[in-house]
Amino acid sequence: MATCAISGCARRVALTPEELARVEARADVEALRVYPGRRVVLLHRQLVADVRYRVRRSISESSRGRPIREILSRHAAGKIVARDKLRGATRLWVSFSPDCQTIACAFAFVETAQGSYLLAAVPGQPGRAPPEVYRGIVTRGRRVLPGRAHSLAEPNAVYLRERLIGGIEGIELVVRKRNTTRGAASVQFTSGYD
């Protein structure tokens, strides 16, 4: 672990509009890789086609279909494929798959008033219902739902989760940033009084 601190490992910081502007000034947006701040699980349920409906003292409804879990880990590197405006705020379209180069299969992150980018839209799959989005694991308390976040212009719909102790959590876009300072430290000795 000590080698990591000495060599200057990259740490994860939230992508800000200022940092993105610095990258664009160098024309390195194509080389920039972004990551989700938390693990994201998309649950694609099958559209109900074959439903069995039976009445015997009570109503029982059953269907067959296996949901598809699409897991986006914190280590999945994404690439910004497009950029546009949504109600006056910048929206970044990020692809986490090398096969995806269009908006149709990309995730959308919207700029907020706090200077970060939060998840706003997720890609669907053909023949499936719109995906359910979970933060971390698939449990009822971890589901994130579309809500309103303060933006630079009008509020935009982003995926949020209310915490039990108050406050809200979103899924933000982060980058790996390495700060290194080269050069030897100058040493000064104090002689003291005598």
pLDDT tens digits, 79-108:
999 999 988 889 999 999 999 999 999 999
Of all helices (H) and strands (E), which one includes residue 107?
strand 107-111
Question: What's the pLDDT score for residue 3?
Answer: 41
Is the pLDDT at 24 greater than 70? The verdict is yes
Question: What's the pLDDT score for residue 153?
Answer: 59
pLDDT, tens only, 31-76: 899 999 999 999 998 887 677 888 988 988 887 778 899 999 999 9
Is the pLDDT at 145 greater than 50? The verdict is yes
Supply 182's token pair.
Answer: 């080269």
Question: What's the pLDDT score for residue 103?
Answer: 92
- Residue 172 β-bridge partners: 118
Is the pLDDT at 122 greater than 50? The verdict is yes
Model confidence at 115, pLDDT cuts 50, 70, 90, reads: confident
Question: What's the pLDDT score for residue 151?
Answer: 54
Measured CA to CA, the distance from residue 190 to residue 192 in angstroms comes to 6
Q: Which residue has the higher pLDDT, 150 or 57?
A: 57
Residue whose C-alpha is closest to residue 151's, from 92, 106, 84, 90: 90
Q: Which residue has the higher pLDDT, 30 or 110?
A: 110
Arithmetic mean of pLDDT over the chain = 85
Asked whether the beta carbons of 114 and 172 are under 8 A apart, the reply is no
pLDDT more than 90, % of the chain: 33
